[in-house]
């Protein structure tokens, strides 16, 4: 497997040994809370040590750029904490949000020579950053990782297909409900299932993702709150009537 070597905004030289962002000592990948959710979950202890030697910790503040659309790319990122916004700028200047990355997600795995989209931090964010060429060499020596990578790519494809369905013939209310349920499922992978859904993104971000205006997103959330289906809380929403929201999402 060959991944093109190029340049990314957050790229810096990769040291011989780096700290995992969640670590207190040189090698603590085994203790990383998102290991089981990412590519690293397919690694044995000795392989984690080898991968850790290829990584460097990346720490960003909210709104910092991870990489930009159409730039040559030379880094792969595994988000370990925080969240990111992925978007494309259209020729007419409009912005299309293509997704939101959460802990455990890898960015930069695509085979394209240039970034297909931009990514920036929605919240303070930490990640393991790898040189694409070094990461590619590591994958070439680990066939079982290629199988895991294929599974992750299949998952991303299913998310893209789900997004096309969401943007199809659904009403604005159904789009917002589907977005909330989808995000709830993703957050549940990181911790025990909860009726409270963190929303690190803005109403404008949600609108750009769903193909709605920010006013429509706000109106739909207000309507759901007025009908006692959700409760708007600081930094998120709480589902008061999960079955109803799920039924709307499946419409």
Residue 112 pLDDT class (50, 70, 90 cuts): confident
Is the pLDDT at 240 greater than 70? The verdict is yes
Which residues, other chains included, contact 198 with Cβ-Cβ below 8 Å and sequence gap of 6+? 187, 235, 236
Is the pLDDT at 104 greater than 70? The verdict is yes
Give the rounded percent of residues in the chain with a pLDDT score beyond 70: 75
Q: Which residue has the higher pLDDT, 29 or 83?
A: 83
**3 state SS of 14:** coil
Cβ(142)–Cβ(47) below 8 Å: yes
pLDDT at 198: 94
- Residue 154 sits at the vertex; the CA angle it makes with 246 and 28, to the nearest 5 degrees, is 95
Among 15-24, 188-197, 223-232, the range of highest mean pLDDT: 223-232
pLDDT at 222: 97
Give the rounded percent of residues in the chain with a pLDDT score beyond 90: 43
Domains in the chain (CATH in brackets) are 29-156 (2.60.120.10), 167-249 (1.10.10.10)
CA distance to 59, 80, 207, per residue, from 36 (Å): 21, 11, 31
pLDDT at 247: 94
Residue 210 pLDDT class (50, 70, 90 cuts): very high
Which residues, other chains included, contact 68 with Cβ-Cβ below 8 Å and sequence gap of 6+? 9, 115, 118
Residues 67-85: what's their mean pLDDT? 91
Distance in angstroms (rounded) separating the CA atoms of residues 69 and 170:
29
Lowest mean pLDDT among 19-23, 58-62, 102-106, 175-179: 19-23
Tell me the whole-structure pTM to 2 decimals.
0.79
Alpha helices in 55-171 (DSSP H): 132-140, 143-166
Distance in angstroms (rounded) separating the CA atoms of residues 175 and 152:
25
Mean residue pLDDT of the chain comes to 81
Q: Among 38, 249, 39, 37, which Cα is nearest to 162's?
A: 249
Residues 143-166: what's their mean pLDDT? 65
**Read out DSSP for 18-79?**
---TT-SSS--GGG-TTGGGSGGGG--HHHHHHHHHHEEEEEE-TT-EEE-TTSB--EEEEE
Lowest mean pLDDT among 46-60, 82-96, 194-208, 218-232: 46-60
């Amino acid at each position: 497997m060959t991944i093109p070597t190029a340049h990314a905004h957050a790229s810096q030289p990769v040291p011989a040994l780096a700290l995992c962002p969640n670590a207190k000592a040189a090698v603590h990948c085994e203790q990383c809370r998102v290991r089981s959710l990412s590519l690293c979950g397919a690694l044995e202890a000795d392989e984690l040590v080898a991968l850790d030697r290829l990584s460097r910790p990346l720490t960003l503040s909210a709104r910092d750029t991870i990489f930009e659309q159409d730039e040559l790319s030379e880094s792969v990122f595994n988000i370990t904490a925080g969240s990111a916004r992925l978007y494309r700028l259209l020729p007419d200047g409009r912005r299309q949000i293509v997704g939101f990355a959460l802990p455990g997600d890898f960015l930069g795995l695509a085979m394209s020579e240039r970034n297909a989209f931009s990514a920036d931090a929605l919240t303070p964010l930490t990640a393991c950053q790898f040189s694409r060429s070094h990461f590619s060499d590591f994958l070439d020596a680990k066939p079982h990782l290629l199988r895991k990578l294929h599974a992750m790519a299949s998952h991303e494809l299913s998310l893209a297909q789900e997004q096309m369905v969401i943007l199809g013939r659904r009403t604005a209310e159904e789009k917002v409900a589907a977005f909330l349920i989808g995000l709830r499922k993703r957050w549940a992978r990181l911790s025990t299932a909860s009726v409270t859904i963190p929303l690190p993104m803005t109403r404008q971000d949600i609108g750009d993702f769903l193909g709605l205006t920010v006013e429509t997103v706000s109106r739909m959330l207000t309507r759901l709150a007025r009908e006692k289906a959700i409760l708007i809380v600081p930094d998120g929403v709480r589902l008061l009537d999960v079955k109803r929201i799920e039924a709307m999402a499946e419409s």
